[in-house]
Amino acid sequence: MRNIASKLVDKETVPKYYFTDNGILNPNVLPCHRRLVVTRDTERHLEAGGKAIEVVPVWKWLLELG
C-alpha cells in the first residue's frame, strides 16, 4: 500500500510502502514447522502467539539453500 498521507514532495521523492496485515502472519493460520520472513537486509527473531518467526536477509537465506 502506498503512502498517501505525506506531503506531495515527500511522496514523489521518497515513496514509502506500508505493510497491510491480512492475517497471513498469524501463527495459528500457517501450520508449518518453520516460520520465515525473507527481507532485503533485516535480521531478527520474533515471537507471536508463542511461536517463533525468523526474519532473515535474502543473501543469508540464499546461502542456506546451497
- Please identify which residue in the block is written with the cell numbers 525468523: 54
pLDDT in tens, 5-40: 655 555 556 555 555 666 666 656 656 778 889 999
1 against 45, higher pLDDT: 45
pTM of the model: 0.52
Confidence at residue 12, expressed as pLDDT on a 0 to 100 scale: 57
Strand pairing report for 44-48 and 51-57: antiparallel
The C-alpha cell at 59 is: 543473501
- Please identify which residue in the block is written with the cell numbers 503512502: 3
The C-alpha cell at 10 is: 515527500
User: Cα(13)–Cα(35) distance, rounded to whole angstroms?
Assistant: 34
